[in-house]
Amino acid sequence: MTRVLFAGLAAIGFWSVVSSGTAHFRATWSHWMLSSGVILATAQLDGGLVEGVGGIVLGLFLVPFIANGASHFAITVTPPALLFILCSVAQCTLPELARGLLLYGSAVVVAFMQMRIAIAIRFHALTIERKLIRDATHDTLTGIHNRGWLAQQAALAFSAARRYRTELVFVMLDIDFFKRVNDTHGHQVGDEVLKAVARTIQGTLRESDHFGRFGGEEFFCILPHTSKETAMQCAERIRQAVAALEVQSADAVVTVTISIGLAAMMDADGSWEDQLKRSDEALYLAKQSGRNCVRLSD
């Protein structure tokens, strides 16, 4: 009967209508009630605390799945432990009390170590998960976002701009004569140029803008809530900043320029890919116009 009563009290922790506490508190409450029910029910039996201490300590091995730190562990374990000590003092001889406390204390230590291991495993798994997410959305060399992430953001930005009738500009950027840099100075210097250009472009943009490496020496910017005029001014600042950039190699200072093509969203664009295509065409026009310039799609 005692165990049934305390099981009912434990169930309150899972009944959100009655218990409005956090998930951790509800789990702790349920552990308190279930453990107390087992201890009191065992104590009612003749010699129960002596013979049944093994069954009592089994409940401690659920604590690592409840507690999320040392303080929470102590809060979860302490009330049932005090109840066990009080019942043992009242019923057991001194040798029996010492044996029971030793067994119970050892189980507490083991449960604490299990909790620490579980926390370490969860932290390690979370770290790996975050790294996998970052690797899936970022370019390994430059550390900026990659093409897959840009495609997702472009689709979202296009959909939002179309729905709320706001302005949206796509910007394609390409380093001029980048192959010449690799051929003349080597791929290591070329990599440093890519990273320096990426940092320069990113430092020119707003926090609300999306930017990443589209592939090779091409970069892509998504400028939401931006007019054509403002986007052209931004692109010109990027062009000038990249032109002023200097990358030191072993035997020379390397400078590069960049060509930029822009496309503002139009009613004729059926998808974000259509707008992207127009920005790419504007980039091609910038290349044909002598490079190191900015061109806007009609």
How many residues make up the chain in this entry? 298
Whether residue 162 sits in one domain with residue 113: no
Whether residue 233 sits in one domain with residue 197: yes
Reply yes or no on whether the pLDDT at 230 is more than 80: yes
Residues 38-56 have pLDDT tens digits of 777 666 777 666 666 766 7
User: In this structure, what CATH number is given to the domain that contains residue 240?
Assistant: 3.30.70.270
According to the model, what pLDDT value does residue 17 have?
45
Q: Which backbone phi and psi does 236 adopt, to 5 degrees? A: -65, -40
Whether residue 162 sits in one domain with residue 97: no
According to the model, what pLDDT value does residue 49 have?
65
Classify residue 15 by its DSSP letter.
-
The total number of structural domains that make up the chain: 2
According to the model, what pLDDT value does residue 47 have?
66
According to the model, what pLDDT value does residue 67 have?
75
Strand order in the sheet with 258-264: 210-215, 218-224, 168-175, 258-264, 294-296
Active site annotation includes 229: no
Reply yes or no on whether the pLDDT at 285 is more than 80: yes
Given the residues 96, 192, 207, 217, select the one marked as catalytic: 217
Phi-psi region of 215 (alpha: psi -120 to 50; beta: other; left: phi over 0): left
Determine, yes or no, domain membership for 204: yes
Structural domain harbouring 187: 147-296
According to the model, what pLDDT value does residue 18 have?
46
Residues 235-279 have pLDDT tens digits of 999 999 999 999 998 888 999 999 999 999 998 899 999 999 999
